[in-house]
Structure 1
Amino acid sequence: MNPAELLDLIQKRRSVFPPQYNQEEITKEELNQIFEAANWAPSHKKTEPWRFVVLEGPAKDRFREYVKRIYVQGTPPEDLSDRKINALIEKCDKSNKIILINFVNEYKNPEWEELAATSMAVQNMWLMASALKIGAYWSSPLNVIANVDEFTPMEEGEKCVGIFYMGKYDNELPAAVRKPIEEKVRFLEY
């Protein structure tokens, strides 16, 4: 891959949301490619803190019920919304795979470094998914990720930082717009 092809892939990476997904299966081979890309993210002191939990089949159904329960328990009755409940259910039902994004902190590095390394692993996953025409979307609903140990056991020091909804899609994605990089970079020459 040449630099122009790499930049093109980076520029075309998008959040693709569950309502955009078709019902085509994400294969084990595609998942392995996505996770292999994640595994090559950098980490300080080679801690490789990223951990992923793939939800499919009945586990995905249990997660849908968990997310719904957490929303209902954490929302005052007067603020409960059927629209919000239906949107939470739709995210789970339309996603072919749901991945819990976790990291393990072994206290060799500051926590922010382990989170940064995990974020880089997710970016690698997202880029590989984009190359495979698999849509993805990182969501971080606070009550859901803070209580995920109610849904699945966690390792010692493991923390959930997000949910990665994934599915294949058919339509072309819109072009993104960014402010010029010149507005974001300063050169100090003294």
Structure 2
Amino acid sequence: MKSSYSLNSAPNRTFPERAAIVTSVIRQRRSIYADAYDKKEIRPQQLEEILTNATWAPTHKMTEPWRFVVLSAEQQSDYGRYMCEYYKDHYPNLSPQDRLLKFEYLQNYPLHAAAIIAIIFQPSTRIVLPEWEEIAAISSAVQNMALTCTAMGLGSYWASGGSAIDYVKRFIQQDREQSFGLFFIGHPSSSKAHAKKRRTPISEKVTGFTPHPSTINPQ
């Protein structure tokens, strides 16, 4: 899919209208977990757009320190089995029956996702930058993916827990790379409620600026 963008690409929309759309997408974004997805596919064009938008994140000196790997269906199943192994000693107080149900849940969990993407830090061999700048670039890339998913009506979340980091580290990343976990994408189930979120008012987080009264208690 060939993508192009111009501030004038939507001549029928004013700049305030465009800003309102962007603001709406940002504030509607939520981490929606795989067990809240319907098992439906996404179109290849959607996945391409999500990944392309990731690469348009800010990156100092154009190092583009990210690498993405889209897991195959076999790898998604393999990750479910890996979670069972990884967490086998994490539930000592469960009854045998509950333990069986828990590991059945873990094994099937990745299969709810329409796509799972490995997030990998690939340090530049051309120039050395402070690591925090490279991590910030990757985080911005993941945010671009999350916002694109929201705009498409898809759910997503960045899994950065132990099993996600470890799976990519052991089976996907290459020399000199670092695992940053997995990014899940899926269709939010209409039968499950997704919690509304709030944020701390900027008046408590920002100095040197007095916010307009309408933004004191954002929804």
TM-score (norm 2): 0.75
What code does the residue aligned with 1:175 have?
K
**Match for residue 63 of structure 2 among 26, 47, 50:** 47
Answering whether residue 183 of structure 2 is matched by residue 169 of structure 1, we say no
1:134-175 CA-to-partner distances (Å, cap 9, x unmatched) read 1111111225414534323x2332111121111112437443
Show structure 2 runs of 5+ residues with no match.
1-16, 210-219
* Residue 46 of structure 2: aligned partner: 30
* Residue 145 of structure 1: aligned partner: 165
Are the aligned partners of 1:18 and 1:90 in contact in 2 as well (CA < 8 Å)?
Answer: no
What code does the residue aligned with 2:113 have?
S
* Residue 111 of structure 2: aligned partner: 93
Answering whether residue 141 of structure 2 is matched by residue 125 of structure 1, we say no
Are the aligned partners of 2:82 and 2:167 in contact in 1 as well (CA < 8 Å)?
Answer: no
Report how many residues are paired: 185
Are the aligned partners of 2:65 and 2:134 in contact in 1 as well (CA < 8 Å)?
Answer: yes
Of 128-137 and 83-92, the range deviating more from structure 2: 83-92
What code does the residue aligned with 2:134 have?
E
Structure of higher RCO (CA pairs closer than 8 Å, 6+ residues apart): 1
Give the secondary structure class of the aligned counterpart of 2:87. Answer: helix
Taking only aligned residues, the RMSD between alpha carbons, in angstroms, comes to 2.3
Answering whether residue 143 of structure 2 is matched by residue 114 of structure 1, we say no
Cα pair distance change 1:67/1:77, threshold 3 Å: closer
Runs (4 or more) in structure 1 with deviation over 6 Å come to: none
**Bigger Rg, structure 1 or 2:** 2
Task: Quote the offset at 1:132 in angstroms.
Answer: 0.7
* Residue 181 of structure 1: aligned partner: 202
Cα pair distance change 1:52/1:174, threshold 3 Å: same
CA distance, structure 1, for counterparts of residue 194 and residue 122 of structure 2: 34
CA distance, structure 2, for counterparts of residue 84 and residue 115 of structure 1: 34
- Percent identity among equivalent residues? 36
TM-score (norm 1): 0.86
Are the aligned partners of 1:133 and 1:168 in contact in 2 as well (CA < 8 Å)?
Answer: yes
Are the aligned partners of 1:104 and 1:156 in contact in 2 as well (CA < 8 Å)?
Answer: no
Answering whether residue 32 of structure 2 is matched by residue 16 of structure 1, we say yes
Give the secondary structure class of the aligned counterpart of 1:157. Answer: coil
